[in-house]
Structure 1
Amino acid sequence: MRFLLEHRVLGAVITKTLELAKDAPLLYQEHGIDGGTGLLPVAHHPMVRLKGRGRFFTSKKRAALTADEAFEPGRSRLAYPMHVTELDRAIGADGGALDLTQWPIAARNEDFVTLVEAAGASLGWSAVLREEEDDIVFFLKDPAILPVTMLWFSNGGRDYAPWNGRFSGVTGIEDGCAAGVGGELAAAAPNPVAAEGVPTGLALAPGRTHVVRHVTGAIPRPAGWTDIAGITVAGDALMISDSAGRQVMLPWRRDFLRGND
């Protein structure tokens, strides 16, 4: 499917292509951003829902950050602001330790944390092993184009309408180029994400085209798997592996995530 956004964004023309792979459980997504002026933060917004518990695995990150102020006052489980380098050593609102890789991270909470990709990474990936669903949901990106992954933990913490506390067990896994929860003004100003040495928006210019690519996938959990050690690309193959050395191999569009910009 190919789409053209009728409204221009900062003067830029936005096109979108979605393609389901014929030979693998993969959704290939591409956005073209042509022309315009200014700095444009971008991000995807897939949401994963868990009936029960899950474990989060990801490519190496250099930092996990929260904003200066609580995302949802009174319902935030994380400390604001926060800066940690290990996802299993996050700081809770009470000052105690919190593990961002074990989901849900709390009961009835709303939290937003920005993960910044490690320097030099060639492939950025995130994966959730969902226990009750007995599957693995994963996302792939080029970290040079989308250097952050934002986690939006939405677990019944919004008591007011229209949510009324009913929206629970959901986490947004949002790969992007942005200053976290902030918009255009935050992206253009000094901010904690930019301080980590990564861009927080796409620099638009007349005659310039940005191409942003992203992949979503899902597979049944292989028998005996309890973790995901890595996701790698080798030519026309995408390989998902666990810590025991077992692998699942999927057909892959060679170089889809390369040369995007």
Structure 2
Amino acid sequence: MTDRTTLATEGISLEVLSLGGILSNLCIARNGREVRPLHRAAWVDRPETVPEGAPPHLRYLEGDFLCAPFGAPAKGSAAPPHGWTANGQWTLVAEDAAPDGAKTLRFKLGKTVEAASVEKRISVRPGHPFVYQEHSFSRCAGEISLSHHAMVAAPGGMRLSFSPKKFGRTPEAPLDPPEKGTTFLLRYPQQFESLADVELADGTRADLRSYPTAKKHEDFLTLYDEEKTAFGWSAAVAQRDGFVFVGLKDAAVLSQTSLWMSNGGRTYAPWNGVHENVLGIEEGCSGYSAGAGGNLLPVRTALSLDRPGGLTVRYALGAIPLPEGFQEVAAVEISANDLVLQDVGGAREALPFDVRFFDNNKVNQ
């Protein structure tokens, strides 16, 4: 087993795995209710069912982790899928506690990524229903693709919404080759204007804003942010399971949102057809859906590492118990003191949020 370090303050607790830097066991308490929105694969507690040689990010699949590079490693690289940030050993270098009750864990990755050293900071603040994550790449040059890999579990289904997107796309082919026997729902490849109207493999069309829309499928697509978007967000309202999940990002750095729809379509170990109702809401910048042979779309698919002070990637995720009447998040706004969720029905929910969190990313633009 990998070591776990606990991070907790008023209203929020979690663990961080040293192997893969995986965020685990997130629990958020608000108004006398608790929610645990993130997925944990059943085989994490049954390691004997995982094939020998499986990469750590798959063996301990849960919560969220950073992939760098995102997807398959570069040709000739010794890194496993999703890179060393999701599979290497992170060493805890400091535990910081502020007078106001804020707590921070600082880690350093034992491997380099594209010759860059990588540091991780994970912070929580009293009463804030968010986990603040920062990954800093330093002493490096070149470019890299990367993505957070947050996974939401809602057996009762969820309604999805996002900050403005200009279009979406599926990859050139499904996630698995035909010999794997994986079943999929979507047509590959395709480009679409809205998640509300996506073509399926059988030629029909579906509104994918409600997940899941079908059983026994494994699918992947990417939504591309509008260039003018500075602050990006993703939201999932899980009415039956009683929570709202929110992911927050600097869209000038993480300019894409990929959706990994894992709903029982993989029948081989360790998936065994029972990895169901899981949705990866993955904020990143990569070429995974850009087209065969490289970047064929007018979008950025990698981040420059050659920046003054290096590259810092900031991403926050959180959740709250379902507010009365909430059906679908229509807008997320940051004010001078907090963050406000607005429902399509007009209801508003103000949440404590560190409004300065994304300010420092201006140096990355």
TM-score relative to the length of structure 2: 0.66
Instruction: Give the Å deviation of 1:259.
Output: 3.8
Deviates more, 1:140-149 or 1:126-135: 126-135
State how 1:111-260 maps to structure 2 within 5 Å: 111-180=219-288, 190-192=294-296, 195-197=297-299, 199-205=300-306, 208-260=309-361
Distance 1:65 1:181, change over 3 A: closer
* Deviation, structure 1 residue 122: 2.1
Q: Matched residues in 1 for 2:268 and 2:352: separation?
A: 45
Shift of 1:220: 0.9
Asked whether 1:55 is paired with 2:55, we answer no
* Identity rate, percent: 35
Q: Which residue is 2:115 aligned to?
A: 11
**Pair 1:107-2:215 in alignment:** yes
Structure 1 residues 206, 21: CA separation in 2 closer, same or farther (over 3 Å shift)?
closer
Asked if residue 24 in structure 1 is aligned to residue 128 in structure 2, the reply is: yes
TM-score with structure 1 setting the length:
0.92
SS in 2 for 1:214: strand
> For this pair of structures, how many residues does the alignment match?
254
- Secondary structure (helix, strand or coil) at the match of 2:265 reads coil
Task: State the distance in 2 between where 1:207 and 1:227 align.
Answer: 40
Q: Give the letter aligned to residue 125 of structure 1.
A: W
Q: Is the 8 A contact 1:35 1:207 kept in 2?
A: no
Question: Cα distance, 1:200 vs. partner?
Answer: 1.2
Q: Deviations over 1:208-255 (max 9, x none)?
A: 511110010101111112121111111221000112322111122123
- 8 Å CA contact 1:232–1:238 kept in 2: the answer is yes
Structure 2: distance between partners of 1:162 and 1:244: 41
AA aligned to 1:35 is R
Work out whether residues 123 and 232 of structure 1, in 8 Å CA contact, stay in contact via their aligned partners in 2. no
Structure 1 gap segments, 5+ residues each: none
Looking at structure 1, the residues matched to 233 and 259 of structure 2 have their Cα atoms a distance apart, in angstroms, of 13
Contact 1:34 1:207 (8 Å CA) reproduced: no
Runs of 4+ in 1 over 4 A off after TM superposition: none
> Would the aligned equivalents of 2:239 and 2:327 in 1 still touch at CA under 8 Å?
no
**AA at the equivalent of 1:200:** T
Flag the 1:207–1:12 CA change in 2: closer, same or farther, 3 A: farther
Larger Rg: 2
CA distance in 1, matches of 2:307, 2:253: 19
Distance 1:84-1:206 versus aligned 2 partners, 3 A rule:
closer
TM-aligned CA distance change 1:207 to 1:59, over 3 Å: closer
Asked which structure has the greater RCO (Cα within 8 Å, sep 6+), the reply is: 1
Cα shift at 1:123: 1.3
Supply the distance in 1 between the matched residues of 2:193 and 2:285 (Cα, whole angstroms): 19
Q: Distance in 2 between matches of 1:219 and 1:13?
A: 34
CA distance in 1, matches of 2:308, 2:354: 28
Alpha carbons 2:237, 2:326 under 8 Å: kept: no
Residue 196 of structure 2 is aligned to residue 88 of structure 1: yes
Map 1:67-82 → 2, pairs under 5 A: 67-72=171-176, 73=178, 74-82=182-190
The 3-state SS of whatever aligns with 2:196 is helix
Residue 10 of structure 1: SS of its match in structure 2?
coil
Once the two structures are superposed, residues 172-211 of structure 1 have per-residue CA deviations (whole angstroms, 9 ceiling, x without a partner) of 11000111368xxx89x6324xx233x2112223865111
Q: Which amino acid aligns with 1:202?
A: L
RMSD, aligned CA: 1.8
